[in-house]
Structure 1
Amino acid sequence: MAEFTYGPVEVLLISFEGDRPGPALGAALRDLIAEKTIRLLDLLFVSRDAAGDLRIVEVEDLPEKAQLPDLDLGELGLAGLDDVEELATELPPGTSAAVLVVELAWARNFASALAASGGAVLHHDRIPAAVVNAVLEAAR
């Protein structure tokens, strides 16, 4: 079986109130990492001021007291600035977000076995949790 170093990777743009995510979001992210469900490869913060100007801050450029020493980022720079700017077009003025590049660590072995058997993923859709919950709640 071919052993992949990385499983599938997703790039997420997550918004939050204020200029930084709250402690609950950080705790949830740390739990996913500790459980080896995901591996955080890269992390950037973006904000758009009221005039519409975009500001991008890479995690290593955060002030020392705001740095995240307990997060081991595997591949800093994986999210290119062009990609981040394109993602940030969805960011309304006066808001902030984080760009997370996460490996779906839980799928690494499956991806290796799939490749070794000559298989390939032909289609992949992600349905946001809010949509799934709203649809199932409406069906009750």
Structure 2
Amino acid sequence: MTHFRYGPVELHVVGFPGDAPSPQVLGALGDLLDTGLVRLLDFILVTKSEDGAVDVVEIEGDGAPGLNGAVPLAAGLVGAEDVESLAESVAPGASAAIVALELAYQRELAEQLGASGGEVLRSERIPAPIVNAVLDLAEQEEGD
């Protein structure tokens, strides 16, 4: 039988005004990690000064403050070239968190797909604000 050490991985690049994510955002990510549904593989903070200078901090060892002590399991998974490319999308005076999350809850499904010869042909994610806006609109139209 096929055995995977990791499930599928999602890479998120999330921008923030200022030089860091808020403690509330980090706390919400820490709470999600505590559920065991996802595992933190890599976590990088990118800050771009007003003059365009980029500062990159890879979180390792002790973990990121505010993540309930979570330590990236595969720090360095996101390569330097990828970080450089992703950092281009950060506006001057802003920051971004580059986060690689393993979808641990999908590991067994991935193993079974692989063992049966199946493969994922396409996967898409619809951002929460879009889902909520579409459903709110649909509910509003039903009420009319």
TM-score (norm: length of structure 1): 0.88
Aligned to 1:96: 95
Q: State the match for 2:48 in structure 1.
A: 48
User: Which segments of structure 1 move beyond 6 Å, counting only runs of 4 or more?
Assistant: none
Q: What is the SS of the residue equivalent to 1:56? A: strand
- 1:39 matched to 2:39: yes
Which has the higher Rg, Structure 1 or Structure 2?
2
For CA contacts below 8 A with separation 6 or more, give which structure has more relative contact order.
1
Letter in 2 for 1:78: L
Letter in 1 for 2:96: A
Q: State the alpha-carbon separation in 2 of the partners of residues 61 and 4 from structure 1.
A: 24
Unmatched 5+ stretches in structure 2: none
- Asked if the contact 1:45–1:96 (Cα under 8 Å) also holds between the matched residues in 2, the reply is yes
> Match for residue 29 of structure 1?
29
Structure 2 residue 65 is the aligned partner of structure 1 residue 59: no
Normalised by the length of structure 2, the TM-score is: 0.86
C-alpha distance in structure 2 between counterparts of 1:61 and 1:109, whole Å: 28
Partner residue in 1 for 2:129: 130
Question: How many pairs align?
Answer: 139
